Amino acid sequence: MEIINISEIKNEVNNHNLEKIIKKIPLLTEHAMASIIFIPSNAETAKHYHSNTDEINFIIEGSGKIAIDGEIQDLEKEMVLVVPKKKSFQFVTTKENMIILSFRPINKLKKSK
C-alpha cells in the first residue's frame, strides 16, 4: 500500500522554490495507474494524448484550463473531467497552482505520444 499526503507535496515544492516545475508522482498498481500532478501558476503541461485509454482527472486544488483538441475549458477545484482516448490535451495554469489526481486503467496502457 502506498499513501501520499498532498500537503507534503505542496510543502516540498514551496520549500525548494520549484515555481516552474511540474511535479508528477505516479502511483502504479497491477490494474490502474494514477498520478498526482502539481502544476505551478503560469505553467503548462506538454500537449499529449493516450491512444488506448480515456483519462479521468479530479481537480484537487486550484484552477486553470484544459485544451482538448483545441477546445478550451475552465477548471476549478473539485471538478472531474474525462479526456477521451486519442484526444490531444494540455493543462494550463495562470494565477493559481493546480493539483490534479489523474487515473487510467492499466490493462490498456500504452505509451503516451
**Domain containing 79 — which CATH number?**
2.60.120.10
Domain total of the chain: 1
Task: Report if residue 39 sits inside a domain.
Answer: yes
13 domain-assigned: no
Residue 65 covered by a domain: yes
pTM: 0.78
Q: Is 88:68 a contact under the CB 8 Å cutoff?
A: yes
What's the pLDDT at 72? 96
Q: Is residue 67 part of a domain?
A: yes
Predicted pLDDT at 65: 97
For the segment 57-77, what is each residue's pLDDT rounded down to a tens digit?
A: 999 999 999 999 989 999 999
Least confident stretch, 3-17, 67-81, 97-111: 3-17
User: Which pLDDT does position 106 carry in this prediction?
Assistant: 75
- Domain assignment of residue 1, yes or no: no
**Percent of the residues in the chain that have a pLDDT greater than 70, as a whole number:** 79
Which residue segment(s) compose the domain that 37 sits in?
26-105
Is residue 112, in this structure, part of any structural domain at all?
no
In a domain, 72, yes or no: yes
Q: Which residues contact 13 (CB under 8 A, 6 or more apart)?
A: 21, 23, 38, 40
